[in-house]
Structure 1
Amino acid sequence: ALLLPAVQQAREAARRTQCKNNLKQLGLALHNYHDIYTCLPPGYIARNVSATDPASMEAGPGFAWGTMILPQLDQAPLFQQLDLEGDCTDAANVALAKERLPAFRCPTDPGLDTFIVNDGTADYELALANYVGIYGYGNVTMAPGNPDPAGMMYRNSSTRFRDVTDGLSNTLLVGERASNHDFIRNAPEAASQSTWYAAIPNVNRPSGSMMMAMPEGPGSLVLGHVGMTMMGGMQMRHVPNSTNHIVNFSSRHVGGAQFLLGDGSVHFLSENVDYDTFRWLGQRADGNVIGEF
């Protein structure tokens, strides 16, 4: 009995190391993608664009960044089975969407392998993932005609490393998200689930906010943001394990969550991290000087 806590700590240390290695693997895949295409993959792809009004673009559905880097994750056979010219909700594509990919799963997280979303017309079974791209500052449904999301990946993005003027070592690229927030507060499991596959509207997805009814768009299945300015200038702060907002960054590791930075390094950020530091890390070109984190 006296040895049990030590054994549990050792096991969690091993799981946390594996989680870190997963993020490093994703980082290498993203860098290899950039080497091939000279930009990072889009946060997700949305095709319905009005030539006269880009801001009218629909919020989804669309294949996500995780799908686009499958060949760089030794998942070329899976990637080749997907019809990227078709819709991510097409039956043949959705049949592949429940594939469990270990590189996208934190071993500390006890979530199920799949979950269900409904876009108002049908149910779709999607593989669970624990890592989401960094959108930046603001709402993840924001259209290109609105202010720049300022992060590394967002809807139809094509961020180049040379665009990251704050420096790759000072800019978040991917962060952890737990499969549910019951360990933080009594939150519906469906509110925080994520996938590697695609951004799909979910009419059953509850509001992600404790403060007001603020429905989240399909981008929140694959992306997270570091906060946003509300009406009256009030900031909503989305630090790891925040109790105010449940669709951004969190983990089952005690005290914070792990993040991949643009240079491929992985850092554990405390849930007590200075908010300005966290917000600045989530933006690629804000010009702020970041200290230790």
Structure 2
Amino acid sequence: MNPWRAQRPSRRRSAFTLIELLVVIAIIAVLIALLLPAVQSAREAARRAQCVNNLKQLALAAATYEGAVGCYPPGLYWCLLTGDYAGYLGTNCGPLVHLTPYMEQNQVYNATNFQVNIYYNANLTVHAIGIKTLWCPSDGSISDTQTLDPNSAFFEVVPAGQSARMAYSSYAGVCGPWWPNTWSIPGVGAGARATHSQIKANELGLFGVCSNVRIASVTDGTSNTMVFGEHGHGLIAPSDQPSWQWWDSGNLGDTLITTMFPLNPQRTVANGSGSGAGGSVFVNSASSLHPGGANFAFVDGSVRFIKDTIQNYKIMPIGQDLNGAPMPASVTATNAGTNPYWDQVYALVPGTQFGVYQALSTRNGGEVISADSY
């Protein structure tokens, strides 16, 4: 026998035992458990960074608009309707439509027919235009358009062969701690509510009804005044999602929000889901799918993450305003005229102050806000 051949190692190897295989599987499972949160955290950080960038673009567009036009775009304006709704007032487009030329979306602005209400068939194409800057990456299916009822979604029945499709926004203009409502329209009654000037004075934020706020009136400081905030569409009840956060609408709950209730109220305020009275708390408030808070853009162009724990005024117990809508314990409402819908004025309960969150939404409230308070 060749001695060298006898000393060659055998090519036969023993297989893994069951115990060894289980140990390997356990080690892999531990590694996955350790790595998965890190991967998820990295992905969320990337999504949050994109959200911040979106809000920066919106803040820059608003500032550029103000520089060109001399004021910020209106939050909402009412107009006299025609056709089947002749004699009625209807809401019109919101601030985002006016900002499209300053967001590299000139084609959207040019496609909008401003001679008629935004919800007439002349603007069907505009409703369905999705703008990526308006979508937070963490906001689920925000980029999906929804098909609405062609017979009742808008102020005109959609013609046969055309669809009533709507695109949505993850962001909304901040109109202050509450939502005053009024109108001044030539040809409607006396042309304006008798309480028009009083109600307008009750608008404390950057956006309001037919608002034309100049940067010179932001006396609280541009770094202390919110302009846009997150508005999480994916947090609304699925059955209600098609009806809210229409990107081109100026309605409260679409592209306007208030700070009347806390940030992310679905985490803190009872009876907030659905489309009833509690539901209006959700759709009218800032919210986000980022854990722990939401991003807000300020007038100076900065974007900051506001935590859910930011100080608010007293919220509970929740009461009702003159129209039966939810109202925090720190707020009172009075009728300045004859109609509680058009003439309602909100105010703080005597002896109460705005919380830090509410104060950041006012433009000229005179509140002193410390940088370390949020």
Q: TM-score, normalised by structure 2?
A: 0.63
Deviation at 1:119, TM superposition (A): 5.0
Distance 1:187 1:91, change over 3 A: closer
> What is the number of residues matched between the two proteins?
254
Distance in structure 2 (CA, Å) of the matches to 1:10 and 1:192: 33
Distance in structure 1 (CA, Å) of the matches to 2:154 and 2:119: 9
- Counterpart for residue 230 of structure 2: 176
Q: Show the 5 A alignment for 1:184-199.
A: 188-190=239-241, 193-199=244-250
Q: 1:89 aligns with which of 103, 110, 119?
A: 119
Q: Which is bigger in relative contact order (C-alpha 8 A, separation at least 6)?
A: 1
Deviation at 1:94, TM superposition (A): 2.0
> What SS is found at the alignment partner of 1:47?
strand
Compare the two structures and name the one with the higher helix fraction: 2
Q: 1:257 aligns with which of 285, 291, 294?
A: 294
**Amino acid corresponding to residue 143 of structure 1 in structure 2:** T
**Amino acid corresponding to residue 196 of structure 1 in structure 2:** W
Distance in structure 2 (CA, Å) of the matches to 1:34 and 1:192: 30
Distance 1:120 1:192, change over 3 A: closer
Aligned sequence identity (%):
30
Structure 1: 5+ residue stretches without partners:
50-56, 200-217, 228-237
Q: Show the 5 A alignment for 1:1-293.
A: 1-2=32-33, 3-48=35-80, 58=89, 60-112=90-142, 113-115=144-146, 116=148, 118=153, 122=157, 124-139=164-179, 142-143=181-182, 145=196, 146=199, 147-181=201-235, 188-190=239-241, 193-199=244-250, 218-227=251-260, 238-243=261-266, 244=269, 245-247=281-283, 248-275=285-312, 276-291=355-370, 292=372, 293=374
Per-residue CA deviations over 1:140-194 (Å, capped at 9, x if unaligned) read: 6x11522522100112111100011101111111000111326xxx675438831
Distance in structure 2 (CA, Å) of the matches to 1:153 and 1:191: 24
Whether the 8 Å contact between 1:258 and 1:268 is mirrored in structure 2 is: yes
Structure 2: 5+ residue stretches without partners:
1-31, 82-87, 159-163, 184-195, 270-280, 313-354
Per mean C-alpha deviation after superposition, the further-off stretch among 147-156 and 13-22 is 147-156
Distance in structure 2 (CA, Å) of the matches to 1:278 and 1:129: 22
> What SS is found at the alignment partner of 1:268?
strand
Deviation at 1:48, TM superposition (A): 3.8
Whether the 8 Å contact between 2:172 and 2:229 is mirrored in structure 1 is: yes
- Counterpart for residue 234 of structure 1: none
Whether the 8 Å contact between 2:296 and 2:303 is mirrored in structure 1 is: yes
Distance in structure 1 (CA, Å) of the matches to 2:360 and 2:134: 22
Distance 1:192 1:89, change over 3 A: closer
**Amino acid corresponding to residue 290 of structure 1 in structure 2:** I
Distance in structure 2 (CA, Å) of the matches to 1:121 and 1:80: 22
**Amino acid corresponding to residue 182 of structure 2 in structure 1:** A
Whether the 8 Å contact between 2:119 and 2:155 is mirrored in structure 1 is: no
Deviation at 1:98, TM superposition (A): 1.1
Whether the 8 Å contact between 1:176 and 1:251 is mirrored in structure 2 is: yes
> What SS is found at the alignment partner of 1:96?
helix
Whether the 8 Å contact between 2:119 and 2:154 is mirrored in structure 1 is: no
Whether the 8 Å contact between 1:33 and 1:41 is mirrored in structure 2 is: yes
Distance 1:187 1:138, change over 3 A: farther
**Amino acid corresponding to residue 82 of structure 1 in structure 2:** T
Q: TM-score, normalised by structure 1?
A: 0.80
Whether the 8 Å contact between 2:73 and 2:212 is mirrored in structure 1 is: yes
Distance in structure 1 (CA, Å) of the matches to 2:256 and 2:128: 18
Distance in structure 1 (CA, Å) of the matches to 2:100 and 2:156: 28
Whether the 8 Å contact between 2:170 and 2:230 is mirrored in structure 1 is: yes
Distance 1:127 1:176, change over 3 A: same
Tell me how large the CA RMSD over aligned residues is: 2.3
**Amino acid corresponding to residue 251 of structure 1 in structure 2:** S
**Amino acid corresponding to residue 101 of structure 1 in structure 2:** I
Distance in structure 2 (CA, Å) of the matches to 1:180 and 1:131: 12
